[in-house]
Chain A
Amino acid sequence: GAGVSQSPSNKVTEKGKDVELRCDPISGHTALYWYRQSLGQGLEFLIYFQGNSAPDKSGLPSDRFSAERTGGSVSTLTIQRTQQEDSAVYLCASSLAGRGENTGELFFGEGSRLTVL
């Protein structure tokens, strides 16, 4: 499809396990973002990629969280030693925003719902 694709759509894991969440942005979008949304909460910014580099990682909540992007396309968010407070919907978004530009239109994927037992 032409939209942002995320997988898995749902993930249930046990506390202490590692998880990987994948995002395939819209083709040609240089900017990619990870946000997370807990029940009843707003979107919490995690990390932003411009191409393969991440100029802003300030939202990652701890060193258990990491993300990479390869080929200017697919991104993977990894959470190590998951905790119950990591349970949330992890949303990926992409946009055409580049240096000096910001249309503000982020195109979101449907999210990966993570439940840590």
Chain B
Amino acid sequence: RKEVEQDPGPFNVPEGATVAFNCTYSNSASQSFFWYRQDCRKEPKLLMSVYSSGNEDGRFTAQLNRASQYISLLIRDSKLSDSATYLCAVDYDRGSTLGRLYFGRGTQLTVWP
């Protein structure tokens, strides 16, 4: 079983649509959760951290469900520029592998006009 699982998609949505991605993780001891964005043939960049209470940044909302061990990302009013691969990342063992993040395979999103 992989540490982090994501639906690879692809998700193809029209401009203005709302789209949601989920990511499940296997280690209940994980404490830090993140969404990264990766454009085609580019490096990943941090999109947002995911806090226990849920957090919002403009059109993006991230949520954490510890009981079911998943995190989600909601994108409202999709823009063409949102087309990218979205990677979830989870830390694993802060005791001995400080800073190490496990990444999912990514969910590909294409927003069409």
Contacts and interface: CB of A to CB of B under 8 A. Distances in A.
Interface of A: 31, 33, 35, 40-43, 45, 48, 50, 55-56, 58, 91, 95, 97-102, 104-106, 108-111
23 contacts: A31-B98, A31-B99, A33-B100, A35-B103, A40-B105, A42-B103, A42-B105, A43-B87, A45-B100, A45-B103, A50-B98, A56-B100, A91-B43, A91-B44, A97-B99, A98-B98, A102-B98, A104-B49, A104-B89, A105-B34, A106-B44, A108-B43, A108-B45
Interface of B: 4, 6, 8, 32-34, 42-46, 49, 87, 89, 91, 94, 96-106
B105 A104 contact: no
A69 B108 CA distance: 34
A contact patch SS: loop
Contacts of A100: 98
B46 to A, nearest CB: 5
A111 B43 CA distance: 7
B105 A48 contact: no
A97 B8 CA distance: 29
Nearest to A98: B98
Given A43-B87, A91-B44, A105-B34, 13 more contacts: A41-B105, A43-B44, A45-B101, A50-B99, A56-B97, A95-B99, A97-B98, A98-B98, A100-B98, A102-B91, A104-B34, A108-B45, A110-B43
